Amino acid sequence: MKLWGIVDGVYRLRGPGQAWLRGLLQLLQPELERGLGMGAYFFDARASPAFVTSELTAVGVSDQELALIGQILQQTQSPNERTRRVLALRDGCGTASEIMTRRLFRSMPSLDALSRASKIRDFFGLIATDASGLGCVVNVCLPAETTTTAAVRRRWGRVAAHIAAALRLRRAMASVTAGEGDASSLAEAIFDDRGRLQHLAPAVYDAAGREQLARGVRRRERARARLHRLDPDDAVAEWSALVAGRWSLVDEVESDGRRFVIAHRNPVAVPPLARLTREQASVLGLALLGHSNKLIAYELGISEASVAMRLGRAGRTLGATSRVALLRRVSELLGRER
How does pLDDT run across 146-192, given as a tens digit for each residue? Answer: 999 999 999 999 999 999 999 999 999 887 766 655 555 688 999 99
How does pLDDT run across 221-271, given as a tens digit for each residue? Answer: 999 988 888 898 999 999 999 999 999 999 998 888 899 999 999 999 999
Nearest to 4 by CA among 196, 166, 228, 195: 228
Question: Which option is the CATH number for 278-337: 3.30.70.2860, 3.90.870.30, 1.10.10.10, 1.20.1250.20?
Answer: 1.10.10.10
Distances 12 to 118, 132, 177, 219, 304 between C-alpha atoms, Å? 34, 22, 17, 21, 29
Neighbours of 254 (CB within 10 A): 8
Question: Which option is the CATH number for 2-169: 3.40.50.300, 3.30.450.80, 3.30.70.100, 1.20.1050.140?
Answer: 3.30.450.80
Q: Where in the chain is the domain with CATH 1.10.10.10?
A: 278-337
Q: With a cut of 70, say whether residue 50 has pLDDT above it.
A: no
The sign of the dihedral angle between the CA atoms of 43, 46, 51, 54 is negative
User: What's the CA gap between 232 and 30, in Å, rounded?
Assistant: 14
Q: Where in the chain is the domain with CATH 3.30.450.80?
A: 2-169
How does pLDDT run across 84-102, given as a tens digit for each residue? Answer: 555 667 898 999 888 776 5
